[in-house]
Amino acid sequence: MLQVAFIRQNIDFVKERLAHRNFRETGLVDDIVRLDDQRKRLQLESDTTQSKINAFSKEIGQLMAKGQKQEAEEKKQEVAMLKTTLTPIAAQLSAVEEELNANLVRLPNLPAAAVPGGVSPEDNTTIREGGDRPTLPKGALAHWDLAKKYNLIDFELGNKITGSGFPVYINKGAKLQRALIQYFLDFNTAAGYTEYQPPILVNEASARGTGQLPDKEGQMYYAAEDNLYLIPTAEVPLTNIYRDEMLKETQLPIRMTAYTPCFRREAGSYGKDVRGLNRLHQFDKVEVVQLVDPAKSYEVLEEMVLHVEKLLQSLDLPYRILRLCGGDMGFTSAMTYDFEVFSAAQEKWLEVSSVSNFETFQTNRMKIRFKDASGKPTLAHSLNGSSLALPRIVACLLENNQAEGFIALPQPLHAYFGAERIG
RNA sequence: GGAGAGGUGGCAGAGUGGUCUAUUGCGGCAGUCUUGAAAACUGUUGAAGGUUACACUUCCGGGGGUUCGAAUCCCUCCCUCUCCGCCA
């Protein structure tokens, strides 16, 4: 979340930036400043009274030690009086603090200066395109048909065992998943990311830390008995590794990668977009996360974009990179690049990665700080990106590389998969 | 699931009702010494709110209570560790 001190010092700027991401409740900003004014006033009143009580209490102790019981009793009466005035002030103060916080968590992050204006995906800016779109053979199939033809994925079986959006990968389909995960992890660790295998259920504090709560409450699967959430992305456990940590400047940058299954309820989505692998409730993803010095975070963002781009190039898929406009960015992001690959049989772009700089939005919630050169505690910047999400990559690999009687695989996968083609 | 122990500042670890604003060590920072570094020695160093800066307030796992006064006593919840049981 945003820092109150920053909001107070930059009221107009904050409103302008919120408007830039098409956030309409700019009145929240005024409410926050007003509530913080109240907070300060009440805090001062409370502190002053408490200070008097502390002083009197000390005197009482000294009087008691000297055996001056009468004077001590008189002081006790005065303290009792002060406490009756303190009680309502304290109650107001905590009410105001609660309301202030409730308003603060509803404010999304501010878009960075380079974020284009706009309200919907049509307003996103294409930064680069790469790779060649294939010419498909006659009678080319969509990936769900190819999955059936080569017995790679059984969607109906998933329906039986769990429900829609939980596919069963079979035989070479299962092995392809394993090959991709292994390849992606190796690609990331070779670039200096440390591999983790984190829990895939997290507690409430972790879900709050990265911003899934309270904003995306209904999107996560929830194990009520134990008050745990199934992760929607490895970003949650990975970033929370450093929650409430005071780091040394020399520890930065921290670079982490992990493979996890991801779980999303996708409440409300239906129709054509959910066909086949396009949108699932459970899917595999390899994630990269960085915690960095604030001065370097945009440099790092570009570096992460190049990293993911190289990975896509190595898979020889046609891709494009979009800089998301203000209105299309996620709640917690200051700047986001989306990666899309072209699904040749469906003839549409599918999002396979999202690389974002959150600046201090997450680290302020999680209190991930480091001591800067002057020894002052400073919030780090957090960034993350998919590298990569599997299902849509698989969809494109199958569709784009289909030939007469087989599906060719890109060179880097040959060793991991143990063959150059499926079929 | 049963029994016991514990949660204190960046880390370790003292502190059972008032002895300044939590002892000490490590780590960090600065200095002395040194060609430089290390070692040694000296000084300094928790976080949040608040202030131009002070003052002042809060924080010893969370919440509540007792008291003039709570890290310390009581209640409650959470978490960790050890042993037993069960078990991949």
Distance CA A116, CA A322 (A): 11
Number of domains in chain A: 2
Indicate yes or no: strand B within 7 A of the C-beta of A68: no
A35 contacts A96 by C-beta, under 8 angstroms: yes
Are A128 and A100 part of one and the same domain? no
Are A131 and A88 part of one and the same domain? no
Q: Which nucleotides of B are covered by protein (CB under 7 A)?
A: 10-11, 18, 28-29, 45, 47-51, 56-58, 68-69
* Residue whose CA lies closest to nucleotide B10 C1': A246
Locate tokens 């969509």: which residue? A142
Indicate yes or no: strand B within 7 A of the C-beta of A40: yes
- Find the Å distance, CA of residue A376 to C1' of nucleotide B40: 29
Are A74 and A163 part of one and the same domain? no
User: The CATH number of the domain where A186 resides is what?
Assistant: 3.30.930.10
Question: Measuring from the CA of residue A373 to each C1', which nucleotide is nearest?
Answer: B29
> Does A46 fall in a domain?
yes
Distance CA A221, CA A208 (A): 15
- Find the Å distance, CA of residue A242 to C1' of nucleotide B55: 36
Question: Measuring from the CA of residue A83 to each C1', which nucleotide is nearest?
Answer: B68
Are A240 and A317 part of one and the same domain? yes
Secondary structure of A42-83 in HEC code, one letter for each residue? HHHHHHHHHHHHHHHHHHHHHHHHHCCHHHHHHHHHHHHHHH
Indicate yes or no: strand B within 7 A of the C-beta of A43: yes
Residues 214-273 of A with CB under 7 A from strand B: 246
- Find the Å distance, CA of residue A247 to C1' of nucleotide B81: 26
Residue A104's CB is within 10 A of a number of other CB atoms, namely: 20
Indicate yes or no: strand B within 7 A of the C-beta of A44: yes
pLDDT at A64: 79
Most distant CA atoms of chain A, gap in Å: 104
Final residue before a domain boundary, out of A104, A134, A162: A104
Are A128 and A81 part of one and the same domain? no
Are A232 and A379 part of one and the same domain? yes
* Residue whose CA lies closest to nucleotide B20 C1': A58
> Does A109 fall in a domain?
no
- Find the Å distance, CA of residue A383 to C1' of nucleotide B38: 39
User: The CATH number of the domain where A96 resides is what?
Assistant: 1.10.287.40
Are A187 and A276 part of one and the same domain? yes
- Find the Å distance, CA of residue A61 to C1' of nucleotide B47: 29
- Find the Å distance, CA of residue A376 to C1' of nucleotide B19: 33
| Neighbour-count burial of A81, counting CB atoms closer than 10 A to its CB (0-12 exposed, 13-18 middle, 19+ buried) | exposed
Are A309 and A392 part of one and the same domain? yes
pLDDT at A57: 86
Are A24 and A157 part of one and the same domain? no
Tally of CA atoms within 13 A in the half-sphere of A214 that contains its CB:
7
Distance CA A198, CA A210 (A): 15
Q: Which ranges of chain A have pLDDT less than 50?
A: none
> Does A63 fall in a domain?
yes
Helix (H, G, I), strand (E, B) or coil at A259: strand
> Does A110 fall in a domain?
no
Final residue before a domain boundary, out of A70, A104, A138: A104
Domain region containing A316: 121-422
Are A66 and A145 part of one and the same domain? no
- Find the Å distance, CA of residue A35 to C1' of nucleotide B25: 44
> Does A263 fall in a domain?
yes
> Does A376 fall in a domain?
yes
Question: Measuring from the CA of residue A250 to each C1', which nucleotide is nearest?
Answer: B28
pLDDT at A269: 64
- Find the Å distance, CA of residue A246 to C1' of nucleotide B32: 31
Indicate yes or no: strand B within 7 A of the C-beta of A81: no
Residues 95-154 of A with CB under 7 A from strand B: none
Final residue before a domain boundary, out of A54, A75, A104: A104
Are A90 and A129 part of one and the same domain? no
> Does A115 fall in a domain?
no
pLDDT at A373: 73
- Find the Å distance, CA of residue A214 to C1' of nucleotide B81: 33
Tally of CA atoms within 13 A in the half-sphere of A292 that contains its CB:
20
> Does A320 fall in a domain?
yes
Are A14 and A72 part of one and the same domain? yes
